[in-house]
Structure 1
Amino acid sequence: MPRRWLMAALLALVPAGAGATPVNAYPDIARAYWVEIDGRPAWAGNADQAMPVASLAKLMAALVLDEEADLAGTVTVSRAASAATGTRLGVRAGETYLASDLFSAMLVRSANDVCRALADWHGGGDDDTFVARMNARAAELGMVSTRFANACGHDAPGQGSSARDLALLARAVMARPRIMEDARRESFAFASLDGRRFSVRSTNALLGQFPGAIGLKTGFTPGAGRCLVALAERDGHEVLAILLHAPDRWWDTVGLLELAFDQARRNAPPE
């Protein structure tokens, strides 16, 4: 076990009570992080520092769409969406899809072109209108360190959130069954209305590999580094972990989740 994880295991013995200030037990795990065990804050570092969050922004896009849009409708891909950069599926301007299929592809594969297509569609052809709704919803959730400049998480001036704010967003997302169904998908297949087929795999390496992993979202840009919102359930316990700009997000998250489940078992009342 690396030295920092030995120290972490010792620090993990400190219980976190309801409303307690989270302990900064892992100062080198990520530039900022937040961990909740069974809904209670346990460990955090730089939790209120606003920074780029890459495709974790798509969780807010998904929340707005799931709450407001008719996902049984159809979306015609805009020219701007077809030209989106970063992770993309290659949808073409003028093609038409079920909104629900693009919604799933956005969450499973984190595709920027389908994210932009949905933003343009729900924004009445205007991405800025959709982004304004994302910012309004963030304010409603009390995300005081959050500001979106685009829908899909591209690095941009004024685009950022904090680990604490993302925990608020994660809780709102966890109350939406449709989003959670997509967040736990390891793969997804769909087709345009004219029959062009796609098959995508999740960007979340924890799914199907870490026992109990059920979501939620990955992200990467040069400005944000490697980001992750991880959710896992095991033996009646739930752990939510958020890592921003994490050098080794997969192995460190696995270690973090295991330590959190160990603490949850220690703190469980006797039967």
Structure 2
Amino acid sequence: MKHVTAASALALAGGLTLVTPANARAAHDDTSPIGGSMLGRHGVVLDAGAKPLPKTESSAFVVADGDTGEVLAAKDPHGRYLPASTLKILTAVTLIPRLNKNKTIKPSAEACNVEGSAVGLTQHRIYKVDDLFRALMMVSGNDAAVALAETNGGMARTLADMNAEAKRLQALDTVAKTPNGLDKPGQSSSAYDLALIARAGLANPDFREYVGTKVAEFPAPAGKHYQIANHNRLLGSYPGMIGVKNGWTTKAMGSFAGAARRDGHTIIVTVMHNEGSFWGEVKDLLDWGFAARGRVTPVGALVGPVPKARPTKPVGGPPVAAPAPSQPAASGQDSPMVGAGALVVAVGLLGGVAWLVYGVRRRSRLRRDEGA
């Protein structure tokens, strides 16, 4: 069965269309798994007419069409596992829009001394936010993750922002307890969520640049630099590989989220809890995805983010756009409700006292409807 949609024709660099097919769960519906009822299964989820999947030791995986959002195959897609450093994808997706990439910062001693993989930060004001994101996604710098969290206002605020972003993207299996993915009780993600978050990241040009850079210069004290190389072994070796991120801890085992693009089409593959080397398995799953794209019935979908609330429409009147809380009306300017009130008063003066009283009452009722 061949599926041809307008979204599938979009180039990755030109923007992704987040689609939700009929079987995907709506944001307000808690009765079925996110992405469709078939994705609630713990075993392999595959169209009966599809070619067999390659062998994999991963406890969970997702193969999806990155352009249309169609999930082509999966295994335990919503199973919750420790994400290891693949959680840094959420860190980047959350913080890239919030931080000025040209800002120069001085990391704390805590950031410089964090355990695990590191880019080697020192307590000097020589690092741009741009450098830190590159270190985060290229060499999995745990120190860079903490420094970025500090730049965002601290660990508590950053974790709150990350978890809010996960909810906005409908990545509801994901709970961030750290910005770097180091194992911590209660932290989790899923193969489905990693695909969802990675796809959201790939829609951002800066994110694509960070995850797709093979080698870069990184600042050191005294005006010096040293080279850092991307940990993604498929970047440059697998045809069309875009990025994204791998991870590993002794408890999480191996995990990976990545995407490749060929002949105008993008395939996303995520794997979690792989006890061995997953690189060969990811290549096989990508190959399978490119061959299956447009030829198998999807088993679900990567859903879009939760839509923003629309302005309410008062009964008997035109829509009223309420100003954003962070953007109050400037001093000396009337709000929409004040303008409406003045109009009502003018009509009352022309029509007599009775209409004036009616206008005041109507204005009061409208104010209550808008929460004023």
Q: Structure 1-normalised TM-score? A: 0.86
Structure 1 residue runs of 4+, over 4 Å off?
14-20, 24-28
Give the Å deviation of 1:192.
Answer: 4.1
Cα offset for 1:198? 2.4
Once the two structures are superposed, residues 95-132 of structure 1 have per-residue CA deviations (whole angstroms, 9 ceiling, x without a partner) of 43111111111111111111111111212xx2122111
1 CA distance for matches of 2:82 and 2:291?
A: 31
Residue 85, structure 1, aligned to residue 115, structure 2: yes
Counterpart in the other structure of 2:13: none
5+ unaligned residues in a row in structure 1: which ranges?
A: 1-13
Question: Aligned to 1:157, which of 157, 166, 185?
Answer: 185
Is 2:174–2:188's contact at 8 Å kept on the other side of the alignment? yes
* Residue 281 (structure 2) aligns with: 252
Residue 112 of structure 1 pairs with residue 142 of structure 2:
yes
SS in 2 for 1:68: coil
Give 5+ residue unaligned stretches, structure 2: 5-20, 24-35, 40-44, 47-52, 297-372
Hey, what's the Cα distance between the residues in 1 that align with 2:171 and 2:57? 23
**CA distance, structure 2, for counterparts of residue 89 and residue 180 of structure 1:** 20
> Which amino acid in structure 1 is aligned with residue 199 of structure 2?
R
Counting only pairs closer than 5 Å after superposition, residues 137-152 of structure 1 correspond to structure 2 as 137-152=165-180
Aligned CA RMSD, in angstroms, stands at 2.1
For residue 94 of structure 1, report the CA deviation from its aligned partner: 3.9
2:268 to 231, 235, 240: 240
User: What amino acid is aligned across from residue 223 of structure 1 in structure 2?
Assistant: K
Q: Which amino acid is the alignment partner of residue 250 of structure 1? A: W
- Matched with 2:292 is 263
Q: Could you give the per-residue CA deviations for residues 201-224 of structure 1, whole angstroms, max 9, x where no partner exists?
A: 101000000001001111111111
1:12-35 Cα distance to aligned partner (Å, 9 max, x none): xx9899657462556743111111
Would you say the 8 A contact 2:55–2:281 is kept in 1?
Answer: no
Match in the other structure for 1:227: 255
Q: 5 Å matches for 1:7-22?
A: 19=23, 21=38
Return the index of the structure with the highest Cα Rg. Answer: 2
Structure 1 window deviating more from structure 2 (201-210 vs 114-123): it is 114-123
The letter for the 2-side match of 1:253 is V
CA distance in 2, matches of 1:172, 1:104: 18
Q: Aligned residue for 2:128?
A: 98
TM-score, normalisation: structure 2: 0.64
Q: Secondary structure at the match of 2:61?
A: strand
Query: Residue type of the partner of 1:237?
Result: H
Q: 1:27 to 1:210 in 2, by over 3 A?
A: closer
* Identity across the alignment (%): 31
Deviates further, 16-25 or 107-116: 16-25
- In structure 2, distance between residues paired with 1:164 and 1:238: 16
Is 1:169 the counterpart of 2:197 in the alignment? yes
Give the one of 139, 160, 185 matched to 1:132. Answer: 160
Indicate the residue corresponding to 2:245 in structure 1: 217
Whether the 8 Å contact between 2:149 and 2:155 is mirrored in structure 1 is yes
Deviation, 1:174, is: 1.2
SS state at 1:243 partner = strand
Aligned equivalents of 1:261, 1:35: Cα separation in 2:
10
